[in-house]
Structure 1
Amino acid sequence: MISAGWYEETCRADPSYPRLRLDREIVHRHDKRLGARLRHARLRHNAAPEEES
């Protein structure tokens, strides 16, 4: 288990840490919303990436 002071110690050691956590949370929520929209979309064709030969 992480101690209560772990977050504060990490923030003092690396001031950009809170910003990185925030960025990660924003990306996670965006990806989750996109996944939900794609699951519920009524797409006309199955999409697949092109294979390069």
Structure 2
Amino acid sequence: PEFALVNLEYLEIVSLEKLQPILEFKDENENAACIAASISSVRLIDNIIF
């Protein structure tokens, strides 16, 4: 079977308050994972708060 190739454009863990990259996690619900990837001609963008 053929599988779609996922091209990760970026993955950044940021502070939800300032949207700046962080080196250590903040308290719960103060962090976000910002993700962009493409599969064929479809671009997927998501921000996950944790």
Same fold (TM over 0.5): no
Q: Which has the higher helix share?
A: 1
**Whose RCO is larger (CA < 8 A, sep 6+)?**
2
Per residue, is there more strand in 1 or in 2? 2
Larger Rg: 1
- TM-score w.r.t. the length of structure 2 is 0.20
